[in-house]
Amino acid sequence: MSPSLTRLFAPKLRLTLSPTEVVVGDRRMACDADYGSEPWHGALEQLNSLDLGRTRVAIELSNHFVRYALVPWTEGLSTPTEEEAYVRHHFAKIHGAERAKAWAVRASEAAPGDPRLASAVDAGLIAALKKGFEGKKAKLVSIQPALMARFNAARDLLPKDGAWLVIAERERACIALHGGRDWRTVQNAKGPWRATLERERHRVEGPVPSLVLLTGEAPPANDAAFQFKALGT
């Protein structure tokens, strides 16, 4: 019998998928990162075994499953199809056309002239998640990359001069700098988050804020370079 999570019934249930675990509310369930041919197959197998009850589900995708890029502003994109083609072309320049054509791409809103934060996720993962909820009491209402979800949650904490957002995960760190008006850099890379943050600090041109909004690990004490503030996971 599938494990029941009906006691977690809520108007909206947040669920997080990563290669090694599925998090539902305050429950963490391990999954096999080596299961299947894709890094998300183990998480999907675990998710599909759960009875979530009658609720609305918002899924947050680990940055292991997402690619990010800053897409320069361009004039003359009048339809969603044109916008998608432009964003996909940008990812194709970075990762290659064959890989990029298999991804579902999205970009954030931005003021004219400002770069847009774009994300790319395996279209097969999106399709499999939607299919997994067909005919179930639980209804899938949103799928968001982790950086977008955490930025939306932290938006009110951003000062006028901006802040770093750091999402620390097992063997991966997503580092993004929001300047208060627009995005200045994003890096989603393997390795320890502190070293990646230090590299980005020296790579970005111009003055940078010292405030770091950190989630996934406890803020370090007595750091001379940054001021850390913990975000909820």
Q: Do residues 39 and 91 share a domain?
A: no
pLDDT in tens, 80-94: 899 999 999 999 999
Q: Tell me whether residue 29 is in a domain.
A: yes
- Rounded to whole angstroms, the Cα distance separating 133 from 115 reads 35
- Cβ atoms of 46 and 22 within 8 Å: the answer is yes
Q: Do residues 70 and 24 share a domain?
A: no
Q: Do residues 37 and 130 share a domain?
A: yes
The pLDDT of residue 110 is 83
The CATH number given to whatever domain includes residue 176 is 3.30.420
Q: Do residues 192 and 177 share a domain?
A: yes
Q: Tell me whether residue 153 is in a domain.
A: no
- Cβ atoms of 5 and 50 within 8 Å: the answer is yes
Owning domain of residue 77: 65-119
Q: Cα 18 to the chain's mean position, in Å?
A: 11
The pLDDT of residue 136 is 93
Q: Do residues 135 and 203 share a domain?
A: no
Q: Do residues 214 and 179 share a domain?
A: yes
The pLDDT of residue 31 is 94
AA letter at 136: K
How many domains does the chain divide into?
3
- Residues in the chain predicted with pLDDT less than 50, given as ranges, are 1-10
Q: Do residues 99 and 46 share a domain?
A: no
Q: Do residues 57 and 97 share a domain?
A: no
Q: Do residues 57 and 70 share a domain?
A: no
- Rounded to whole angstroms, the Cα distance separating 105 from 120 reads 4
Mean pLDDT value across the chain: 91
Q: Tell me whether residue 207 is in a domain.
A: yes
- Rounded to whole angstroms, the Cα distance separating 207 from 187 reads 18
Q: Do residues 50 and 78 share a domain?
A: no
The pLDDT of residue 77 is 83
Q: Which residue has the tokens 């020296």?
A: 202
pLDDT in tens, 12-52: 899 999 999 999 988 999 999 999 999 999 999 999 999 99
Q: Tell me whether residue 151 is in a domain.
A: no
pLDDT in tens, 2-19: 444 444 444 589 999 999
Buried b (16+ CB within 10 A) or exposed e, 205-215: eeebbebbbbb
Q: Do residues 167 and 211 share a domain?
A: yes
The pLDDT of residue 3 is 44
Q: Tell me whether residue 200 is in a domain.
A: yes
